[in-house]
Amino acid sequence: MSYIVVDIESDGPIPGDYSMISFGAVIVDENLDKSFYGRLKPISENYEPDALAVSGFSREETLQFDDPREVMLRFEEWIKENSNGKPIFISDNNGFDWMFVCWYFHHFLKRNPFGYSSRRLSDLYCGLVKDTFAQWRHLRKTVHTHDPVDDAKGNAEVLLFMKNEMGLKIDLR
């Protein structure tokens, strides 16, 4: 099994009506040196300027990004080349990140290499410390910049901290 931390940026709250603009993924291992970055052309004319502003891109810039189907094909291939066994999707806010990635895989490729489930980093941490209000973001080493690869790497660092320092039983082979 390989844990893959994913972070996305979008121009609105839901896939289909709005677009995933970019995403990053990092294979969780002790090196955190295997990453993927994709920038996707919008799939609809809808966008919320405030949501898009978080990504740091203008609407005009995003219109020049890559074809979403091609990006998802490249991501699927990267997953196959870099993971051992079943890939496990994990993110900071998988209710949001998973929704977009799952929708894009099924919409453009009619399949999802992650299957039908994901994990939420915050829930793992809260369970370990037995406190549903526990804060964990201070454990990131990489600054949260809204560059999706940076953000995925920071979250992967937290997962490694939970494994190495807190005793989370997780197989990262």
Around 142, how many Cα atoms within 13 Å sit in the side-chain half-sphere? 18
| CA diameter of the chain | 47
CB 173 within 8 A of CB 84: yes
pLDDT of residue 109: 98
C-alpha separations of 41 from 51, 60, 154, 173 in Å: 15, 10, 26, 34
pLDDT of residue 39: 98
Q: Is 81 exposed, middle or buried (0-12, 13-18, 19+ CB in 10 A)?
A: exposed
Strand partners, 23: 8, 38
Alpha helices in the chain (DSSP H): 49-55, 59-62, 68-82, 94-109, 121-129, 148-166
Domains located in the chain, CATH noted = 2-166 (3.30.420.10)
Around 72, how many Cα atoms within 13 Å sit in the side-chain half-sphere? 21
**Tens-digit pLDDT string for the chain (173 aa):** 899 999 999 999 999 999 999 999 999 999 999 999 999 999 999 999 999 999 999 999 999 999 999 999 999 999 999 999 899 999 999 999 999 999 999 999 999 999 999 999 999 999 999 999 999 999 999 999 999 999 999 999 999 999 999 999 998 87
pLDDT of residue 36: 98
Active site residues: 146
Euclidean distance between CA atoms 22 and 66, whole angstroms: 10
